[in-house]
Structure 1
Amino acid sequence: MIRGSFLASAIVVVLASIQFSVPAVAQDTTIKTRKQAEILIPRISRESVQSMDLSKAEALDTIDTADPHIKILLLSDNTWKYFKDSTYARDHKIFNEYWTHDYPDPYHVSLDELPDEIALWIVDTLSEYKCPHQNDVYSKFGYRHRRRHQGVDLPLQTGTPVYAAFDGKVRISKRYKGYGNLVVLRHDNGLETFYGHLSKIYVKDDQWVNAGTIIGLGGSTGRSTGPHLHFETRYKGYAFDPEWLIDFHSGTLRHRLFVLKKKYLNANSKYVPESEQEEIDILEGDAKDKEEAAKKAEAERKAAAAAQYHTIRQGDTLGALARKYHTTVKTLCRLNGIKETTTLRLGRKLRVK
């Protein structure tokens, strides 16, 4: 804890100036072709995401942020990351509407009610990704023996850990028909992931889990001819090929931002790699975005270096600090993500410039 406190004091100055947000889809008014429109998303969001390395570092301590549900987690390798705690899902509408532990599809939404395209952030600045089980897919999404196979099958040995792919809340954790032991997680972008045929379940209904949490062990329960993980991805109850999201051979997430097209919700719509020209367009766009991101990071670094902080002492008020540092209460609130009514805790570092 001493080391954790040292790390906290060492990096809090930098972190205090960081404001987290979920990126928004870029807008462009110069679209000339349908092809351009279909790939019009932030280029950096199209880059793949490596699966988490769970052996990297241990958590030492946490720092509060302006959002009470989100913490900054200090790690033993002198790095940090954002962390959503279990209270995050309590007031989030996505985890309260159409919520049941009884059956897989609580929505019963007509496909006609869904838009043709839905932009979904799979991984953003507040979340991570862990491949549920890395292996080659031996049974793909689609029709199999004239039956619809709504996910992919990944071979494994009984007892192999199965991981939560993303942060989410447990909607189902029980034995359910042909799935055998089944865990269903709902994520804050509206997606649900299914993990079937488990030999053991390690989570409970309504439990909040983070990406990389072991939710159970692989097995062959239910309608299964051998040990494997049956993995599904669904939106509003409709399954689509998980390979649109994950390259199970390498374990990587294909894109941070995924454009789910209504046609993908058809059982015959299997993952098809993008065309060569689209990949060229994406790579060119990525290079430009990386350059712009580097410039933005440098500007933020300079702003952080020029920032001035005040350690709260007995008797300090926002009004007094505003007068002392020739600024306004409104500016102090904006710089620190607080309100005029926020209680100033002794010892807290407040950014004043």
Structure 2
Amino acid sequence: MSKKILAYFTFSLLFISQLLSQQIDSDNVIYEDSLQLTNHAYLIYENFWDNEFVKNKALYSSDLSDTVLYLNKCEYISPIKGRFLSPYGPRGRRNHAGIDIKLNKGDSVKCAFNGKVRVAKSIGGYGNVVVVRHYNGLETVYAHLSKIIVKPNDLINAGEIVGLGGRTGRATTEHLHFEIRYLTKSLNPALVINTENYELTSDSLYISDNKFYSKYESIKNDKKVKQITIVDDDILAEKYHVITKGDTLYTISKRNNVSISDLCELNNISKNKILKIGTKLRVQ
């Protein structure tokens, strides 16, 4: 038996034991303790939890372990069903880290899977954004909301409303910017969700040799699989500006075509930060 097939069955057994060990009440709501000890999310994130950032540099790894992430088709609910506007992938000098789905202002945006709200706030180009961490280790991102309904650390079930549709942040029209991330790295949501009928493409997501696969059989025939090499849109493509006399956040933002809010988020600083000559400021 090959190592990858053995790994597949090993994770299958772990997943079954996880389900058996979870505490579920009469309404099928998973208690908070299952987020801490009995699921894959705890194994990969351990105690790392923050309510501030969509993606955190401390979690970045250029080499992911081969694993299987299980997707519960019975649990999944499409966040919104609307016209597909924009795919994942390169957009000018940046990487569009998710997909865009058309909606109207005030439309209900739903959580895709059971999980726990990690971020619920306004962040730069995302506008009003919600990040939910799920039991399999994936995180989903819901951006440009006109109103956020949930709070950080809320337990949430698939289908519950995270917020209302809008165009806050860097958006030219009302739409949902939807991302799926694993250990901060973005992956193509089309590997998980069919953008025509908004149903799951598979009941599992496979990671092998730092690539995502929607079908296990495809790993053995790498040339035919619809895949994406894991390249983080912001962490691997970093760009810095060396501060010189007269520089301000405003002049640096204009020179590098980035908002002041994004500069503050990228560097974990406030808008009142005193800039020291000779130091580096991340601008991408």
Task: Tell me which residue corresponds to 1:84.
Answer: 30
Can you list the C-alpha shifts for 1:243-297, whole angstroms capped at 9, x where unaligned? 10001321211111111345547xxx9x99x98xx9xxxxxxxxxxxxxxxxxxx
Picking from 46, 67, 91, the partner of 1:144 is 91
SS at match of 1:148: strand
With over 3 angstroms needed to count, the CA separation of the structure-2 counterparts of 1:121 and 1:135, relative to structure 1, is same
Task: Tell me which residue corresponds to 2:113.
Answer: 166
Can you list the C-alpha shifts for 1:66-106, whole angstroms capped at 9, x where unaligned? 86831243xxxxxxxx4324554365636762211111223
SS at match of 2:84: coil
With over 3 angstroms needed to count, the CA separation of the structure-2 counterparts of 1:131 and 1:66, relative to structure 1, is closer
Larger Rg computed on CA atoms = 1
With over 3 angstroms needed to count, the CA separation of the structure-2 counterparts of 1:41 and 1:67, relative to structure 1, is closer
Structure 1 segment 250-261 matched on structure 2, within 5 A:
250-261=197-208
Q: Does 1:156 align with 2:103?
A: yes
Can you list the C-alpha shifts for 1:156-202, whole angstroms capped at 9, x where unaligned? 11111100000011110000010000000001111110000000110
Q: Distance in 2 between matches of 1:190 and 1:254?
A: 18
With over 3 angstroms needed to count, the CA separation of the structure-2 counterparts of 1:241 and 1:71, relative to structure 1, is same
Q: Is contact 1:170-1:185 (8 Å) kept?
A: yes
Q: TM-score, normalised to structure 1's length?
A: 0.52
Structure 1 gaps, min length 5: 1-28, 46-64, 74-81, 279-353
Q: Is contact 1:108-1:237 (8 Å) kept?
A: no
Structure 1 segment 47-66 matched on structure 2, within 5 A:
none
Structure 2 gaps, min length 5: 13-18, 222-284
Q: Is contact 1:171-1:205 (8 Å) kept?
A: yes
Question: AA paired with 1:156?
Answer: L
SS at match of 2:172: coil
- State the percentage of identical aligned residues: 35
With over 3 angstroms needed to count, the CA separation of the structure-2 counterparts of 1:243 and 1:88, relative to structure 1, is same
Give aligned pairs, total. 206
Superposed CA RMSD: 3.3
Structure 1 segment 175-324 matched on structure 2, within 5 A:
175-261=122-208, 263-264=210-211
Task: Tell me which residue corresponds to 1:69.
Answer: 23
Q: Distance in 2 between matches of 1:137 and 1:41?
A: 33
Q: Distance in 1 between matches of 2:60 and 2:22?
A: 37
